Structure 1
């Protein structure tokens, strides 16, 4: 054996590279391939569903299913609403609101020939400076209107300390009948500033040759179309309904009326009977929705009118006003509005509010009881559990009794009345179920519960 010859195991070289097997090239999967596979799989599912029986339930949500569910839900909701309405027996109840203005009349003429001869205008015409201005009697009205708008007319009247009749009547008519808002507002400011010093202590009022009367104010309301012939069933209107109303001058009417009432200590302009009718007119205008924007002006006018009465006159006048209003105001939410519009904190306001609430309550109960205990006994006897119980009327009774007792100081010495009032509140609060769906039942229950808490705290 040749020494240099390789052995058998040496002939095998494990490190020798073996022939490289041909690698398979992987295929790149693109988006198009994925979409193709997806649609193939979906088409297979569609074919399977098509082969199933027609009555087999669907295992996917379709638009038809959603539409059917919505229709079924809507039908159930309508059925529930119908059943609730039948259970509650709710009736349509109108809101407060009375049309107190009708057709407007033609205002008086704005031409005042006597104005050309007034001394104030003549002083300008005959003045030395008039040669530069060229003012004549014919152009005098326009000149005075300019002075009125600029506020100079008021200054000149105060400087002279004298207000002529022609100037007074002209400005009064411009205030209540002028279609120019600037002229009407300026004339109103003129009259308010003219009358205001009369009410101030320590100041001598200017000499006023003419003052407006109640008939002048009443004539203005008649021109505006105010319906003075109040009836027990006036024409009610819904809030926001189109109706005939007063012109823009009604705001000036309230302001001049308040100013006239405030000068009673120095100059009595109205008779007591006229002042009583004036209060009634103001209350009626509170019932017109079209005047809600003038609530502040109307409130000031109401306070001035109530303060016009002396202490000796008030007790008799208060009863007359309350009786007159109670007989004509409808027994619905309008009567509550009439009571609540008398919202002053002075003695006259409280007494009138209490007296009016009491008289309306007596009329609502058909005058079956006219004294305090009799009225409360009737209220306590009302059975709130009866199916035919009218909770709307009961709500009216509740609010009227609240205003009557709250502001009647004479009842403070009658604890029996307050005990009966508390019993009535407990009946309304405890015997009316929170699940009672009858009309106004929840309002009566809530109102009584609130009032009962205040009564218990006293």
Structure 2
């Protein structure tokens, strides 16, 4: 399935394996189910490096340009592999072939695939696979595992552009996907701010309110990505709706960016910060019934 050049044979093998996961024999004898080392070996053959959950060092998942030429399409058979992995995770509680640590590593690896532009044709498949991986965690496992996955993903990429791309790719209607996106955004926010992670509405707002956009030495590039990450985290944070003072402070900061930055400001990212702040003001005022939060 993973290395054949015959597409018909590939799909037939994938259908057979997925069907076999639904049989009773699979749960009685799950030894045939490929373990995570086998999956990682296949991904490495495709050109991806292994991602480690434990420890301070997390290697970046990427295509190895020295071993593979530039790809204009997804690695061969990757779609079938992701489909089989999705079905395996769907049945994880029955066959119990994967440990909690295995699933965490799968989540980090699959989420990092969003950074590969050649996988855009498979973006829906990658997204669905990640959802099944996250849903395979037990309730008692989820909270701690979600935090570990978010911390690991924050170490995968250093570029702010890719950090934002990865965070926005973690969208979805599933609560667990939303939770992961929120925690990843929080990790990236503090990473960009170069400060220790300190969750809380007012902790984030205190960092943003220290920035004076009138100064010439403002790094509007970092500010733009901080605003984006703060928006993702605050939007999914239920405490913002309860803490009216926090919402007012957030709107006040956005309005200050919108009003104090001129449309003719030629500093890098200045107009981008201004336009995005203006847009967010409209969104939050519309969602939270702005009349109650207008400054007098």
For the criterion TM > 0.5, the same-fold answer is yes
In the alignment, structure 2 segments of 5+ residues that lack a partner are 64-68, 289-296
CA positional deviation for 1:415: 2.6
Q: For residues 276 and 157 of structure 2, what CA distance do their matches in structure 1 show?
A: 23
* Superposed CA offset, 1:213-251 (max 9, x none): 2222122112222112577795999xxxx7368631111
Matched, 1:403 2:229: no
Match of 1:178 in 2: 4
Matched, 1:258 2:76: no
After TM superposition, list the pairs within 5 Å mapping 1:264-343 onto structure 2.
Answer: 264-343=92-171
Q: Which residue of 225, 233, 254 corresponds with 2:47?
A: 225
Please say if residues 51 and 105 of structure 2, whose CA atoms lie closer than 8 Å, have aligned partners that are also in contact.
no
Q: For residues 173 and 269 of structure 2, what CA distance do their matches in structure 1 show?
A: 30
Match of 1:452 in 2: 281
After TM superposition, list the pairs within 5 Å mapping 1:37-186 onto structure 2.
Answer: 175-186=1-12
Structure showing greater radius of gyration is: 1
Q: Which residue of 175, 180, 189 corresponds with 1:352?
A: 180
Matched, 1:441 2:270: yes
Shift of the 280–374 alpha-carbon distance from structure 1 to 2, 3 Å rule, reads same
Please say if residues 322 and 355 of structure 1, whose CA atoms lie closer than 8 Å, have aligned partners that are also in contact.
yes
Shift of the 391–319 alpha-carbon distance from structure 1 to 2, 3 Å rule, reads same
Q: For residues 210 and 19 of structure 2, what CA distance do their matches in structure 1 show?
A: 57
Q: For residues 183 and 154 of structure 2, what CA distance do their matches in structure 1 show?
A: 10
CA RMSD of aligned residues (A): 2.3
Q: For residues 193 and 410 of structure 1, what CA distance do their matches in structure 2 show?
A: 44
Shift of the 368–218 alpha-carbon distance from structure 1 to 2, 3 Å rule, reads closer
* Superposed CA offset, 1:379-419 (max 9, x none): 11212122222221111001100111111234443333222
Shift of the 228–184 alpha-carbon distance from structure 1 to 2, 3 Å rule, reads same
Q: Which residue of 205, 210, 214 corresponds with 1:381?
A: 210
Please say if residues 184 and 252 of structure 1, whose CA atoms lie closer than 8 Å, have aligned partners that are also in contact.
yes
* Superposed CA offset, 1:257-302 (max 9, x none): 1010111242223111111111100111110111111111111101
Q: For residues 78 and 197 of structure 2, what CA distance do their matches in structure 1 show?
A: 40
CA positional deviation for 1:331: 3.9
CA positional deviation for 1:308: 0.7
Q: Which residue of 215, 235, 241 corresponds with 2:37?
A: 215
* Superposed CA offset, 1:308-328 (max 9, x none): 111111110011111111133
Helix, strand or coil at the partner of 1:176: coil
Please say if residues 361 and 397 of structure 1, whose CA atoms lie closer than 8 Å, have aligned partners that are also in contact.
yes
CA positional deviation for 1:206: 3.9
Greater helix fraction, Structure 1 or Structure 2:
2
TM-score normalized by structure 1? Answer: 0.56
Shift of the 299–417 alpha-carbon distance from structure 1 to 2, 3 Å rule, reads same
CA positional deviation for 1:303: 0.9
TM-score normalized by structure 2? Answer: 0.84
Please say if residues 49 and 60 of structure 2, whose CA atoms lie closer than 8 Å, have aligned partners that are also in contact.
no
Please say if residues 233 and 329 of structure 1, whose CA atoms lie closer than 8 Å, have aligned partners that are also in contact.
no
Q: For residues 60 and 198 of structure 2, what CA distance do their matches in structure 1 show?
A: 25
Please say if residues 191 and 256 of structure 1, whose CA atoms lie closer than 8 Å, have aligned partners that are also in contact.
yes
- How many residues get paired? 272
Match of 2:20 in 1: 194
Shift of the 220–185 alpha-carbon distance from structure 1 to 2, 3 Å rule, reads same
